Structure formats: structure tokens, C-alpha cells
């Protein structure tokens, strides 16, 4: 079932992130050097967030998609995230920032990633959506492909975290 995440699921979400983090020179695909954050950080990220969805089965979180409004990104919990700092400086709000989509390795290839991303997008009434995809030295082909399929346009490329380049993609809906 795809549904809004519960606060009590912060630990499972955190474990999924940690299990899917990859270094820039690894051969595996995944979250490229995503900042490591404690469970408490995910509790704050989930608390009252109507844009954070999970794929769940019998109380086990199989995967999730997290997104934050620009208003939420101004919270100090995001200070230090170089991508978010750049987006807040260069993209005018209001917008929804799609941060992560990640699944347990065992759940890949069943369509959960695509459904989670679409659920977050379809349930938001904000007209502007923003996402960042790893471009180089490691390109996240899945996110680039999904954002392209959904009509997102590459707005700019930024280099952060000591040499990681990300594409900033935007979709303006309802106009
Ligand atoms: C990326 C991820 C969420 C994909 O989830 P998934 O449920 O396996 O993907 P889906 O089944 O929804 O795939 C949707 C489409 O993408 C394609 N696809 C799947 N993995 C892909 C990959 N690594 N590269 C390119 N395309 C891929 C599928 O073939 C499918 O194509 P189709 O619609 O033409 O049939 C999952 O592999 C994952 O958790 N990876 C680690 C974290 C990560 O990289 N997240 C993305 C950055 S935030």
C-alpha cells in the first residue's frame, strides 16, 4: 500500500537511506553521497509533512518518497545542505522540492519507485515542482529518466559537495 508516512516509521526510512547510499566512485546506483542523518532528523522531516509517502506491507516500509515545501526547507534542519541552499537562493517559491525516492534493494523492479514519485506529485497542489538529480561523476539514470518522462525541464547544473554535479529540474504545472 502507498500511503503517508507515519512518525514511527522514521527509523525504517533512515535505514533505507543508509542502505542505498553510494559513493561517487562506486559501480552501484543509488543515493550519491547523500548527507548522513540520524533517526531524529527523519522524525522532524516526517512530522506534519503531507508530502512524505511510503510503500508499506504489514508494517514494513519497503520504500519512500520524501518532498518538502520551500517553506519547510527554510527550517534550520536543512542548513548545511548545499543543494537546498542553492535552490532556495535561485528558485522562487512557492514550490515542492522532491528530495529522495528509495526502496529496499529487494523491492526494486516492481514499479514502487515510479508510483511513489507520482503519488507525491499528484497529491500536491503546488504548481511548481523541483528536483535534483546526480549528473556527474555518477549519473542517476532513473531520476533523470523519470523527471524527463514527467515533463520536468533541466534548469541548471550546480557543483556542490567537493565536485559532485547535480542537475536542477523544474516542472511548472497548471499553466
Ligand atoms: C531508483 C529506484 C527508486 C527505482 O525504483 P523501482 O521501483 O525499481 O523503479 P520502477 O520499477 O518504478 O521503474 C520505473 C522505470 O524505470 C526503469 N528503471 C528502473 N531502474 C532503473 C535504473 N537504475 N536506471 C534507469 N532506469 C531504471 C524501469 O525499467 C522502469 O521503466 P519502464 O517504466 O519503462 O518499465 C530504486 O532502484 C532505488 O531505490 N534506488 C536507490 C535509490 C536511488 O537511486 N533513488 C533515486 C534518486 S533520489
Which residue from 34, 46, 37, 41 is spatially nearest to 133, judged by alpha carbons? 34
Cell numbers that stand for 153 in this block: 525541464
Residue owning the nearest CA to atom 5 of ligand 1: 113
Pocket-testing residue among 34, 68, 142, ligand 1, by greatest number of atoms within 8 A of Cβ: 142
Cα(85)–Cα(106) distance, integer angstroms: 33
Q: What is the pLDDT of residues 40-74, one digit of tens each?
A: 999 999 999 999 999 999 999 999 999 999 999 99
Which residue from 165, 113, 170 is spatially nearest to 139, judged by alpha carbons? 165
Ligand 1, pocket residues at CB < 6 Å: 20, 29-31, 100-103, 108-114, 140-143, 145
**Distance from the Cα of residue 172 to its chain's centroid:** 18
Q: Is this prediction's pTM over 0.85?
A: yes
Q: What is the CA radius of gyration of the chain?
A: 15
Mean pLDDT of all residues in 14-20: 97
Domain 2-172: CATH architecture, name and number where available: 3-Layer(aba) Sandwich (3.40)
Task: Enumerate the domain spans of the chain.
Answer: 2-172
Atom of ligand 1 nearest to the CA of 108: 8
Q: What is the pLDDT of residues 136-171, one digit of tens each?
A: 999 999 999 999 999 999 999 999 999 999 999 999
Amino acid at each position: 500500500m502507498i500511503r503517508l508516512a507515519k512518525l514511527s516509521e522514521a527509523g525504517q526510512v533512515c535505514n533505507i537511506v543508509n542502505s542505498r547510499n553510494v559513493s561517487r566512485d562506486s559501480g552501484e546506483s543509488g543515493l550519491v553521497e547523500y548527507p548522513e542523518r540520524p533517526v531524529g532528523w527523519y522524525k522532524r522531516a516526517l512530522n506534519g509533512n503531507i508530502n512524505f509517502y511510503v510503500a508499506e506491507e504489514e508494517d514494513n516500509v519497503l520504500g519512500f518518497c520524501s518532498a518538502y515545501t520551500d517553506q519547510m526547507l527554510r527550517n534550520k534542519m536543512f542548513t548545511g545542505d548545499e543543494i537546498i541552499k542553492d535552490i532556495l537562493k535561485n528558485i522562487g517559491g512557492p514550490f515542492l522540492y522532491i528530495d529522495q525516492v528509495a526502496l529496499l534493494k529487494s523491492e526494486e523492479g516492481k514499479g514502487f519507485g515510479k508510483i511513489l514519485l507520482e503519488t507525491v506529485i499528484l497529491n500536491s497542489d503546488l504548481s511548481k515542482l523541483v528536483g535534483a538529480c546526480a549528473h556527474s561523476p555518477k549519473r542517476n539514470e532513473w531520476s533523470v529518466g523519470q523527471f524527463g518522462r514527467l515533463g520536468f525541464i533541466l534548469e541548471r547544473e550546480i557543483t556542490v559537495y567537493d565536485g559532485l554535479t547535480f542537475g536542477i529540474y523544474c516542472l511548472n504545472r497548471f499553466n
